[in-house]
Structure 1
Amino acid sequence: MINFGVNRNGILTSKLNAGTNDTYKHVFNQHLSQDKIDYLENNNAYEYLCNECELLNIDYKLSTALITLADMKNVSIVTKKFKNLEVTAITTAGVRTNASRAGDKASYWEDCGEFHFGTINIILLTNAYLEKSALTEAFMTVTEAKTVALNNLKIPSQYSNGFATGTGTDGVAIFSNKDSDNLLTNAGKHSKLGELIGKSVIESVTKAIGKQVWLSNKSQSNALVRINRYALDINEFYDNLDYDKFEFISQLRTDARNQKNVAIASSILNLFDEVQCNLIKKEDAFDLASQIKEKCDSYPIKTLLEYWINCFIHKS
């Protein structure tokens, strides 16, 4: 929980005092234990947060909150500075089961109100004063920066073959300092404020993901991780495999970490993406993918890639 020592305005997605407000005094990010989840299944989220404020001895009218399954011990706090300007991003993140891409098929539909808890929660603070237009622009910059962090780690959507742009239940809360004489009018990507927002959010989201679900640059540098973004039922492949399965899998796990194999797998998957986006023809992608596959010296990786190519971009 953060108790503001200055007057703050903000913009946020919380069920408690959402939208924009000029009188925020407190904000907290809360891990949901199972008993709290059970309670929320049959109760109103707004009332729940008001009750939590009462337990914390803070005024709900002057407070807001984000809630998540992520552990608070895995929070990431990053501060960026330029001269007298300062931006701090405070992030919790879980993306293993809920990562999704804008435009993916919906996982639920809402009728007469339904509550879902946040997965990537970002609280952003700046010591400058931002009016509503700049706060809204900051919100956009935060959202784009979150997507950059996910794309840098090649986080896959759990609902499609694309890369995730967030989760289905993210939360954002941005606050500026109303007492500051430094009134800033722009928080877009061309501004220094936008740069600091982008860098702090990218770094904090990246670190939070590493803490919460152990995904990192190292873990994602794996040919099997890349291939699995285009998921298949692998049983048919193994049923028809003319090779000792135990030996094949053992060698596959070793070869998957080889940087050349990672690069080859990524190049072929990029061709899959190009076909899905109608940027290149399927027959051209198939021919190129087949040529790239031949550069692979690993029998397990090469065999697996051939199966993937035939399943996803086989020439008509």
Structure 2
Amino acid sequence: MYSNRLIFKTSNDDEIFYLKDTILINFGVLRNGISTSKLNSGTNDLYNSVFNQHLSQEKIDYLENHDICQYLINECNSLNIDYKYSTGLITLAEMKNVSIVFKKFKNMEVTAVVTAGVRTNSSRAGDEASYWEDNGEFHFGTINIILLTNVCLEKSTLTEAFMTVTEAKTVALNNLRIPSQYSNGFATGTGTDGVAIFSNRDSQNILTNAGKHSKLGELMAKAVIEAVSKAIRKQVWITNKSQSNALVRLNRYKLDINDFYETLDEDKLEFIRQLQIDSKKQDNVAITSSILNLIDEIENNLIKNRMLMIWRLK
């Protein structure tokens, strides 16, 4: 798709490069920001660059016995960037599937740079843990979001932007009805997502709100929702069309094909063929989704179980 070349440039002269297995962004202005990376994490007043990197199996094997921060420093050196003023995200998603979305309102601009994979690591906040940490066990990121804006944000506004971006990611997953791999609920993210947000310290336009009521928050959220959706489509081929399927909707309950077939007296291959056809019919998708929604309502104590029994009898 790309080969060691410039793939996008913002109005602030931020240059986004595709470098084999890395997306590198060299900033054209002084930037402060907030990052979940192990390298220069939290809020910092000066960043010169940020990168997002796909981990090959060789690098995964290396990281099993090496410090993550030192690994990121080494990567900065290989990219010829100063690690003291950079931060980096790592993931198993491939960089060729990056999604870049630009949004603008008057003199306000937002650019989202996202990679995403959700088939094996999607989870819902509050699910049973998939691991517990002891002495720094390492797990890989799946949805990585880098967000740039041309306006200036102080630390408090950056943290507010972080909340808006996180909620927007969840909206994108909910719009596609991505299931959690660890429960029957819908995913709110993956277990190891990464986020890095940067503002323009050179700008005289200092904004004090990045929440959902603000125009900046709206731009950020819309950019992230669109970018995450596109990145998921590129990486794992999950789309609105692929999710419009009764069997797909039932996946979060881990049903086996034999659960449908075992009480029937007919050829299994023919049954599966017909089931695949019927699962895409919109009436069946609507009925399945309605029933699953009722189950969700009951599990969340929004509808009493006896009301479902009455509805069934009718």
Q: 1:289 to 1:175 in 2, by over 3 A?
A: farther
How high is the TM-score relative to the length of structure 2?
Answer: 0.90
The residue number in structure 1 matching 2:225 is: 202
Could you say what secondary structure the match of 1:228 adopts? helix
What does residue 265 of structure 2 align with? Answer: 242
Residue in 1 that maps onto 2:19: none
Q: 1:290 to 1:204 in 2, by over 3 A?
A: farther
Q: Distance in 2 between matches of 1:290 and 1:210?
A: 41
The residue number in structure 2 matching 1:62 is 85
Paired amino acid for 1:17: N
1:233 positional shift: 4.1
Q: Deviations over 1:19-43 (max 9, x none)?
A: 0001100100000011000000111
Matches within 5 A, 1:76-155: 76-155=99-178
Give the 3-state SS of the residue equivalent to 1:157 in structure 2.
coil
Amino acid at match of 1:263: A
- CA-CA distance at 1:164 after TM superposition: 0.3
Deviation at 1:234, TM superposition (A): 4.3
1:294 is aligned to none
Distance between the aligned counterparts of 2:285 and 2:88, measured in 1? Answer: 41
Structure 1: state its 5+ residue gaps: 292-316
Label 1:286 to 1:228 Cα distance change in 2 as closer, same or farther (>3 A).
Answer: farther
1:279 deviation in Å?
1.3
Cα shift at 1:241: 2.3
Shift of 1:290: 6.8
* Distance in structure 1 (CA, Å) of the matches to 2:311 and 2:216: 43
Other-structure match for 1:258: 281
Aligned to 1:226: 249
Structure-1 residue corresponding to 2:295: 272
1:180 matched to 2:203:
yes
Q: Find the aligned partners of 1:287 and 1:38 in 2 and give their Cα distance.
A: 56
Q: Which runs of 5 or more structure 2 residues have no equivalent in the other structure?
A: 1-23
Instruction: Provide runs of 4+ in structure 1 moved above 4 Å.
Output: none
- CA deviations 1:205-264 (Å, max 9, x no partner) are 000000000000000000110112222344354333233322221111001111111101
Note if 1:19 corresponds to 2:33: no
Matched, 1:32 2:55: yes
Q: Deviations over 1:135-167 (max 9, x none)?
A: 000000000000000000000000000000000
What one-letter code is carried by the residue in structure 1 that aligns with 2:212? K
8 Å CA contact 2:261–2:271 kept in 1: the answer is no
SS of alignment partner, residue 96 of structure 2? helix
The letter of the residue matching 1:283 is R
Q: Is the counterpart of residue 161 in structure 1 residue 145 in structure 2?
A: no
For residue 288 of structure 1, report the CA deviation from its aligned partner. 2.9
Counterpart CA distance in 1 for 2:259 and 2:105 is 56
Query: Once the two structures are aligned, what percentage of the paired residues are identical?
Result: 76
Does structure 1 retain, via aligned residues, the 8 Å contact 2:26–2:49?
yes
* Equivalences, count: 291
Query: Is the Cα contact below 8 Å between 2:35 and 2:42 reproduced in 1?
Result: yes
Shift of residue 203, structure 1, vs aligned partner: 0.1
Q: Which amino acid in the other structure matches residue 270 of structure 2? A: E
- Structure with greater proportional strand content: 2
- 1:268/1:289 contact within 8 Å kept: no
| C-alpha RMSD of the superposition | 1.2
1:270-315: CA deviations, max 9, x gaps? 0110111111122322443576xxxxxxxxxxxxxxxxxxxxxxxx
Q: Is the 8 A contact 1:271 1:289 kept in 2?
A: no
Q: Secondary structure at the match of 1:229?
A: helix
AA in 1 matched with 2:301: N
Mapped pair 1:44 → 2:67: yes
